[in-house]
């Protein structure tokens, strides 16, 4: 490589870095978005490098600030003849995005000192459009906004930003999803100039939503695609966070408990894998939510013991259900799993009996698990408790799949905070199933009590 060629390559790299740094400084110092970090620097780079970009990021991670406020306003500082369209699922929210940009133009003194008064044509502004000083005569406004499924066919745009166009309202059924996809391909794509840029920003809702179509369809192979989770585990199993400055482990745990596993996986992890091929559907879990613990109910507990003597590689799990007297619906009160050794398992079983006072506790009684029943039979504290060994036979997956119809019909109801159980449900049969086994055992304990006289340990009866 000769000297001139090397200098030319360095100049190109330098110019690219300069634009990226200029955009970053514009967001931090001119617009005063001081929470922007190196995470968002990566998004800025993708925005600068990609003609077509799909950015799927968790809720609350400032993707709208970066892509829908900072970026289009910065692009207009580079080319005031640009025509920008901002679209949201609702027109009201799209207007709010446009309103944020208007506020910077009108009231941000740092912006006005550097770029001048862009409100000279403010008399032509509307709720849905803004026109700034230009050097060309164009029929389209500098900035326009619209709602999903709106009529935008008369507009020609250099930059289109679709911010959260997908929601539960337009992705729940195949008909809704097809309607949105048709609007996207027949209205949005033709509204973009041939050399224009199209940015799609959002969070997953369904496996077959618009984002899923773009991720999987060969027709969108030329798109740049970024899919990020609020947290993940590295190769060593350590917990990693995407935006630790704002979302600490404690904050994410709190969100997961409040949102429920199904929503958390979609909205914070962009993970819809639990919906693909799962026997248990998110809609069933949502429809069966309960808030108040049922009163005057019988309690049943299922305990799935560690599969072998090496508890470090298996889980001890239990599920507690309540069935109100005179009803058949099962309300899951608690479901936990843990890696504990045999003595701690015995203590946990005793604790569950003291706290919940179950009508029957069903404990798996296959092979190695028989030793637990033997210990409980000779222990003074548990010898006369209503504990029943339950032998599991046949195909395990088929047994657990039998629960699906109960969830579908609302016969098994969950609270909002049993995230581990929901994770197993939504990823079955691909993931772990310790809690699902425990839940099956709890329900089996109920059925055993219905079909047999109330018994304790058979060997203890004279």
Q: Which domain holds residue 261?
A: 239-274
For the full predicted model, state whether its pTM sits above 0.75.
no
Identify any residues that bridge with 160 across adjacent strands, giving them in sequence order.
85, 198
Do 156 and 46 share a structural domain?
yes
Q: Please indicate, yes or no, if residue 204 is contained in any of the structural domains.
A: yes
Instruction: Enter the tokens of residue 51.
Output: 């003609």
Claim to verify: residue 181 and residue 286 sit in the same structural domain: no
Same structural domain, 266 and 293 = no
* Phi, psi at 291, each rounded to 5°: -110, -50
Instruction: Report the 10 Å Cβ neighbour count for 221.
Output: 8
**CATH number reported for the structural domain that contains residue 204 in this entry:** 3.40.50.300
**Residue 296 has what DSSP assignment?**
S
320 lies in the same domain as 371: yes
**Angle in degrees, CA 376, 382, 388, rounded to 5:** 65
Euclidean distance between the first and the last CA atom of the chain, given in angstroms as a whole number: 97
| CA diameter of the chain | 101
433 in any annotated domain = yes
Residue 42 φ then ψ, to 5° = -65, -40
Tokens of 353: 């009996």
- Considering the domain architecture, whether residues 72 and 156 belong to the same structural domain is answered as yes
At which of 217, 252, 274 does a domain end? 274
**Does 119 reside within a domain?**
yes
Contact 371, 307 (CB under 8 A): no
Q: Are the beta carbons of 207 and 276 closer than 8 angstroms?
A: yes
Residue in 329, 337, 344, 340 with CA at minimum distance from that of residue 414: 329
159 and 209 in a single domain? The answer is yes
- 229's CB contacts (< 8 A; 6+ apart) are 58, 242, 268, 269, 270, 271
CATH of the domain at 361: 3.30.420.240
Q: Are residues 147 and 262 in the same domain?
A: no
Do the domain assignments include residue 234? no
The pairing of strands 360-364 and 297-304 is parallel
Residues 182 and 302 in one domain: no
DSSP code string of 306-323:
-SSS-GGGS-EEEEEEEE
CA pair distance 73, 440, nearest whole angstrom? 56
Token digits of residue 396: 């395990």
φ and ψ at residue 378, rounded to 5 degrees: -100, -10
Model pLDDT for residues 33-91, shown as the tens digit of each residue: 999 999 999 999 999 999 999 999 999 999 999 999 999 999 999 999 999 999 999 99
The pLDDT of residue 451: 53
DSSP symbols for 231-271: EEE-TT--EEES-TTT--HHHHHHHHHHH-HHHHHHHTT--
Say if residues 212 and 178 touch (Cβ distance below 8 Å). no
Residue 26 placed within a domain:
yes
Q: Are residues 378 and 258 in the same domain?
A: no
Residues of the chain scoring pLDDT < 50 = 1, 3-13, 309-312, 452-462
CA distance 443 to 277: 24
The CA distance from 115 to 297, in Å, is 69
Residue 14 placed within a domain: yes
Give me the phi and psi of 53, to 5 degrees please. -135, 130
Sheet of 360-364: strands edge to edge? 387-390, 360-364, 297-304, 316-324, 330-338, 412-413
Q: Specify the pLDDT at position 432.
A: 85
Residues 442, 383 within the same domain: yes
pLDDT of residue 21: 95
Residue 420 lies in a domain: yes
DSSP 294: P
Domain co-membership, 162 together with 137:
yes
Contact assessment for residue 87 and residue 148, using Cβ atoms and an 8 Å cutoff: yes
Same domain, 172 and 251: no
Which backbone phi and psi does 204 adopt, to 5 degrees? -65, 145
C-alpha distances (whole Å) from 145 to each of 128, 148, 158, 160, 162 are 5, 10, 14, 10, 10
110 in a domain, yes or no? yes
Query: Which of 228, 262, 297 delimits the end of a domain?
Result: 228
For position 341, what pLDDT does the model report?
A: 87
Q: How many domains does the chain have?
A: 3
């Amino acid at each position: 490589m000769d000297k001139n060629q090397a200098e030319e390559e360095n100049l190109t790299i330098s110019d690219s870095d300069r634009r990226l740094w200029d955009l970053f400084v514009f967001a931090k110092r001119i617009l005063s978005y001081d929470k922007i970090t190196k995470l968002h620097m990566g998004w800025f780079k993708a925005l600068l490098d990609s003609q077509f970009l799909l950015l799927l990021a968790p809720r609350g991670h400032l993707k709208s600030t970066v892509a829908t406020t900072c970026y289009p306003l910065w692009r207009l500082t580079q080319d005031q003849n640009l025509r920008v369209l901002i679209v949201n699922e609702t027109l009201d929210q799209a207007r709010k995005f446009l309103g944020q940009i208007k506020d910077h133009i009108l009231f941000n003194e740092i912006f006005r000192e550097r770029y001048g008064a862009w409100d000279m044509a403010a008399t032509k502004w509307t709720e849905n459009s803004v026109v700034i000083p230009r050097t060309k005569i164009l029929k389209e406004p500098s900035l326009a906004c619209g709602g999903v499924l709106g009529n935008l066919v008369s507009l020609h745009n250099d930059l289109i930003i679709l911010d959260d166009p997908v929601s539960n309202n337009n992705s729940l059924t195949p008909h809704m999803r097809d309607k949105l996809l048709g609007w996207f391909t027949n209205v949005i794509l033709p509204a973009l100039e041939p050399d224009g840029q199209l940015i799609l920003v959002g969070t997953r809702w369904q496996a077959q939503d618009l984002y899923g179509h773009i991720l999987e369809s060969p027709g969108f192979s030329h798109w740049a695609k970024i899919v990020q989770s609020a947290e993940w585990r590295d190769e060593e199993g350590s917990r990693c966070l995407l935006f630790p400055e704002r979302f600490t482990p404690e904050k994410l745990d709190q969100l997961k408990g409040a949102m429920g596993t199904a929503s958390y996986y979609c909205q914070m992890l962009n993970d819809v894998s639990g919906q693909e091929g799962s026997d248990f559907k998110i809609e069933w879990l949502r429809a069966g939510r309960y808030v108040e613990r049922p009163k005057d109910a019988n309690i049943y507990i299922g305990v799935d013991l560690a599969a072998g003597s090496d508890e470090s590689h298996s889980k001890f799990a239990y599920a507690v259900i309540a069935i109100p007297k005179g009803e058949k619906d099962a309300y899951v009160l608690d479901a936990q799993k843990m890696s504990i050794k045999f003595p701690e398992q015995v203590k946990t079983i005793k604790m569950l009996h003291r706290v919940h006072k179950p009508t029957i506790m069903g404990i798996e009684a296959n092979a190695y698990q028989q030793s637990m029943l033997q210990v409980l039979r000779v222990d003074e504290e548990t010898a006369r408790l209503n504990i029943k060994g339950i032998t599991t036979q046949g195909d395990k997956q088929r047994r657990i799949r039998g629960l699906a119809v109960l969830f579908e019909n609302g016969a098994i109801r969950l609270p909002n905070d049993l995230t581990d159980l929901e994770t197993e449900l939504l990823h079955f049969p691909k993931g772990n199933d310790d809690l699902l086994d425990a839940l099956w055992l709890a329900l089996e304990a109920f059925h055993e009590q219905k079909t047999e006289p109330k018994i304790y340990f058979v060997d203890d009866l004279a």
